[in-house]
Amino acid sequence: MFWLAVPLTLVALCGALVHYFNSVAPQVIGTDRHLKELAGVLTRQIDVENGRLSVASDPTATAQWDPTVQFAVRDQEQKLLAGDGLLPVTPIDGAAKAVYSTARFERRNVRMLASRLDTPAGPVFITVAAALNNDAAARFGFMSTLLWDFVQLDVTLVLVWVGIQLGLRPVKRLRDEIAERSPLDLRPVLVSAVPREIAPLAATLNRLFLMLRTQVQSQQQFIANTAHQLRTPITGMLAQLDLLLADPAAQAVKPRLTMLQEGVRQLAHSANQLLTLARADPAVNIAAKNQSVDLCAIAGDVVAKFFDRALQAEIDLGAELHPASLAADASLLDDLLNNLVDNALKYTPAGGRVTVGAGKHDGRPYLAVEDSGPGIPAAERQRVRQRFYRLPNSPGHGSGLGLAIVEEIARLYDAEVSIEPGAGDIGTRVTVRFPAAAAPAG
């Protein structure tokens, strides 16, 4: 609109100026011709006798004279010989014989012709002036034309704006359709439903979506193959170590075998965490098909999975479950809760407690794990979300990926992860709150 308004404004102004000059120019040309004729009448009335200049008779008495025209005849010393001495003097240089000009005289705009006549007694300067009677009408015509041009310009710009808005409706519909999609929706755009002008754009978007789907499938296949290649030999090593530890011949090196077994278990745990972190990447899950997941069922399965470990560590592992469901990938939610419970059991001393929670608060589904461990200092609660970061003097040999995995999965579903003190300011409570829109309808 700006690039239209500026040039159209200049065109309107130029059009008004052309109209003004078209109104003034004929009058000025006719006046100049008339003044030239009357200057010739005055020239014929000038007489030279004995070296003295004089005007032979009154020019206004001649038949050719126009009584509305004023004149002045002066000698080389600008002494008035005849006419009106109030007429302004127009300077004439040595080369020019006549000069046309417009001046203000007696509160009127007048057109003036100043000419020079060379005589034996010296030059004579003749000035004739006529009023421009239609100057006010020309100005009025200029202003009215300019006003009408700007009215037309405003109407034109409004019509252009309305036309643009109507023409952009299909583009806005396409924009809204894509904006309303979730990051997991890579369905192709229906090209037949968009205008011809943006059909190439829709086709390009479809190619981009196809490339993303292909890349995601390749990455998912790579992760699956990597998991298989890692887990199979590690599981075999653990099985062989268990057999070796049970062999009486290996009792002499049992402490070393135990350390090796613990290292392999830690390797298996780290490998699983790295694969979970890769699966939680939005680029991998962009094409995932989410289904309604019962959070209570997920929490119950995780509690059952860690029950024996909690029993061996003399930790009270319980659950506070309320009905809630979420549209998500069940395996990712299981990984999220596994890492939270694993961290809680790892840092909670014997005789402590770990509580797994699930439910809905203010319409938002949530998962939570609370423990009675040493807690996380307020200054460290942001840093523990980073990959491979562990609190100073932390027990065990963790990789520092647990909360990073939780954060990554939460980010995938636009959830919020809060780390707060537990009940009575004892221990830590980690809560993952999902958006209300993520809860399935009904």
- Eight-state DSSP code of residue 263: H
- CA-nearest of 57, 63, 66 to 113 is 66
- Eight-state DSSP code of residue 188: P
Q: Please tell me which of 97-111, 224-238, 263-277 the model is most confident about, judged by mean pLDDT.
A: 97-111
- Three-state SS string across 350-369, please? CCCEEEEEEEEECCEEEEEE
- Using an 8 Å Cβ cutoff, are 31 and 111 in contact? yes
- Using an 8 Å Cβ cutoff, are 394 and 347 in contact? yes
218 or 210, greater pLDDT:
210
CB-CB neighbours of 335 under 10 Å: 23
Over range 66-77, report the average pLDDT: 84
Residue 220 pLDDT: 66
Residue 328 pLDDT: 87
The Cα–Cα gap between 358 and 300 comes to 10
Residue 143 pLDDT: 78
441 pLDDT above the threshold of 60: no
Contacts of 249 (CB under 8 A, 6+ apart): none
DSSP 48-116: EETTEEEE-S-GGGSTT--TT-EEEEE-TT--EEEE-TTSPPPP--SS-SEEEEEEEETTEEEEEEEEE
Over range 39-55, report the average pLDDT: 80
Does the pTM of the predicted model rise above 0.85? Answer: no
Over range 226-242, report the average pLDDT: 75
Over range 98-106, report the average pLDDT: 83
396 pLDDT above the threshold of 60: no
Residue 109 pLDDT: 79
| Confidence at 287, pLDDT banded by 50, 70, 90 | very low
DSSP 337-403: HHHHHHHHHHHSPTT-EEEEEEEEETTEEEEEEEE-SS---GGGTTGGGSTT---TT-SS---S-HH
What is the C-alpha R_g of the chain?
A: 49
What single letter denotes the amino acid at residue 428? Answer: T
Residue with tokens 């996380």: 376
Lowest mean pLDDT among 141-145, 171-175, 367-371, 432-436: 141-145
What is the DSSP pairing of strand 325-328 with strand 291-294? Answer: antiparallel
Residue 279 pLDDT: 63
Q: Please tell me which of 99-103, 152-156, 365-369, 382-386 the model is most confident about, judged by mean pLDDT.
A: 365-369
| Confidence at 170, pLDDT banded by 50, 70, 90 | confident
Residue 33 pLDDT: 87
- CA-nearest of 363, 342, 365 to 296 is 365
Q: Where are the alpha helices (DSSP H) in 168-198?
A: 169-179
Lowest mean pLDDT among 135-149, 336-350, 368-382: 135-149
Q: Please tell me which of 115-119, 354-358, 380-384 the model is most confident about, judged by mean pLDDT.
A: 354-358
314 pLDDT above the threshold of 90: yes
86 pLDDT above the threshold of 50: yes
Over range 342-363, report the average pLDDT: 91
438 pLDDT above the threshold of 70: no
Q: What is the dihedral of CA 146, 151, 156, 159, to 10 degrees?
A: 170
Residue 137 pLDDT: 63
Q: Tell me the pLDDT of the chain averaged across its residues.
A: 81
The Cα–Cα gap between 409 and 277 comes to 8
282 pLDDT above the threshold of 70: no
288 pLDDT above the threshold of 60: no
CA angle 89, 90, 94 (to 5 degrees): 125
Residue 299 pLDDT: 93
Contacts of 219 (CB under 8 A, 6+ apart): 283, 284
Number of H helices, E strands in the chain: 10, 14
